[in-house]
């Protein structure tokens, strides 16, 4: 599966990668749970409308987009196949016959249209902007018309009864809310927005060589960077602090309620959030230095830390802050779109 296709001077370039979850299923569920609680206490009428659209809670709906990755082509047909690669217990509520047909229909409609590659829907979950940038620009290496920012914008457009840009195919309001329930979380995960590009020596570069994209510098959102003995840097950021999931305490909700409102029209919120997360990504990578690894089939670089313990304190704090912001902003976006 391709994680990233760059367009430099109009020429598409493909880079192979693996797929990853932003925060993992528990993180997405926690974001949905925060939004559920805020909406239920502050906008119960809006919340009832959202529940009527979804047929479930935002907490449960938040993993739907990852569950859709279980759909495969089998004998020329799209089939939902249980796989240990993607969430299983979290997907179970959707695994009715009708639910499986919905997954299959969504994936088939969002299968191609991303340059010459298939499985478009998997590319909706991220963008890979170099941490050397402070803004999002569609011409940057790592940006594309079907990335996480544009996925959020497509769902917003559907709920505003506006035209939805290709390659996104959103059939119903329910699908649009399912997208937001997940992708608002993705856009707050630092390694799903900002990316570090490294030369063979581990020096941070901008992904370009003589003005053209250099695929050898791409770290696959940290999947090619090793931490500790064998762990992936991205995987480290998939997990949420154990004291956060299923707690959703009043302190967490209070912190979410205190998240400042996003300025401007709701159609511009995704870019604002992506640019903010890009800044967070830069701060995350600033804790590390990198060394190139040769002759390793799984990793190309080793991440080293001047103070690993302090880094881990930062990591837990940043993850909680990003999850709280994502839950608050999901509630705010849906309130704006349903009022």
What's the structural domain count of the chain?
1
| Residue 315: inside a domain | yes
For the chain (339 residues), the mean pLDDT of every run of 10, in chain order, is: 39 36 81 96 96 96 96 93 78 95 98 86 96 95 95 98 97 98 97 95 89 93 90 87 61 93 98 98 96 94 95 93 97 97
Measure the CA–CA gap between 19 and 3, rounded to whole angstroms: 7
Element (H, E) at 241: none
Does a structural domain hold residue 102? no
d(CA 264, CA 221): 30
In a domain, 71, yes or no: no
In a domain, residue 232? The reply is yes
Give me the pLDDT at residue 245, please. 56
CATH of the domain at 137: 1.10.575.10
Whether 100 is covered by a domain: the verdict is no
Does residue 85 fall inside a structural domain? no
* Nearest in space to 96 (alpha carbons), one of 80, 83, 110, 112: 80
User: Which domain range does residue 271 map to?
Assistant: 2-65+116-338
Is there a domain that residue 98 lies in?
no
pTM: 0.91
Residue 20's nearest CA partner among 217, 148, 191 is 191
Half-sphere exposure of 328 (CA within 13 A, CB side): 18
Residue 84 located in a structural domain: no
Q: What is the CA radius of gyration of the chain?
A: 19
């Amino acid at each position: 599966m391709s994680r990233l296709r760059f367009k430099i001077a109009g020429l598409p370039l493909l880079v192979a990668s693996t797929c990853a979850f932003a925060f993992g299923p528990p993180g997405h569920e926690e974001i949905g749970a925060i939004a559920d609680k805020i909406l239920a206490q502050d906008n119960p009428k809006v919340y009832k409308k959202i529940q009527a659209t979804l047929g479930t809670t935002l907490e449960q709906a938040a993993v739907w987009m990852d569950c859709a990755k279980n759909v495969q082509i089998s004998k020329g047909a799209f089939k939902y196949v249980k796989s240990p690669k993607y969430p299983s217990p979290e997907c179970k509520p959707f695994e009715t016959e009708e639910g499986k047909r919905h997954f299959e229909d969504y994936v088939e409609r969002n299968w191609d249209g991303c340059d010459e590659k298939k499985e478009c829907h998997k590319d909706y979950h991220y963008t890979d902007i170099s941490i050397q940038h402070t803004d999002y620009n569609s011409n940057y290496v790592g940006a594309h018309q079907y990335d996480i920012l544009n996925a959020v914008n497509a769902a917003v457009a559907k709920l505003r009864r506006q035209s939805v840009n290709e390659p996104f195919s959103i059939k119903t309001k329910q699908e649009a809310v399912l997208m937001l329930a997940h992708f608002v979380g993705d856009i707050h995960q630092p390694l799903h927005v900002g990316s570090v590009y490294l030369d063979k020596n581990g020096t941070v570069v901008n992904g370009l060589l003589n003005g053209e994209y250099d695929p050898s510098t791409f770290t696959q959102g940290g999947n090619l960077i090793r931490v500790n003995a064998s762990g992936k840097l991205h995987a480290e950021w998939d997990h949420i602090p154990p004291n956060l999931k299923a707690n959703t305490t009043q302190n967490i909700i209070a912190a979410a309620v205190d998240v400042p409102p996003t300025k401007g029209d709701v159609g511009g919120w995704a870019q604002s959030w992506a640019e903010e997360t890009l800044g967070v990504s830069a701060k995350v990578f600033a804790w590390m230095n990198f060394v190139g690894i040769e002759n390793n089939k799984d990793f190309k670089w080793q991440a080293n830390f001047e103070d690993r313990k302090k880094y881990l304190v930062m990591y837990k704090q940043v993850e909680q802050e990003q999850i709280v912001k994502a839950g608050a902003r999901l509630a705010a976006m849906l309130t704006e779109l349903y009022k």
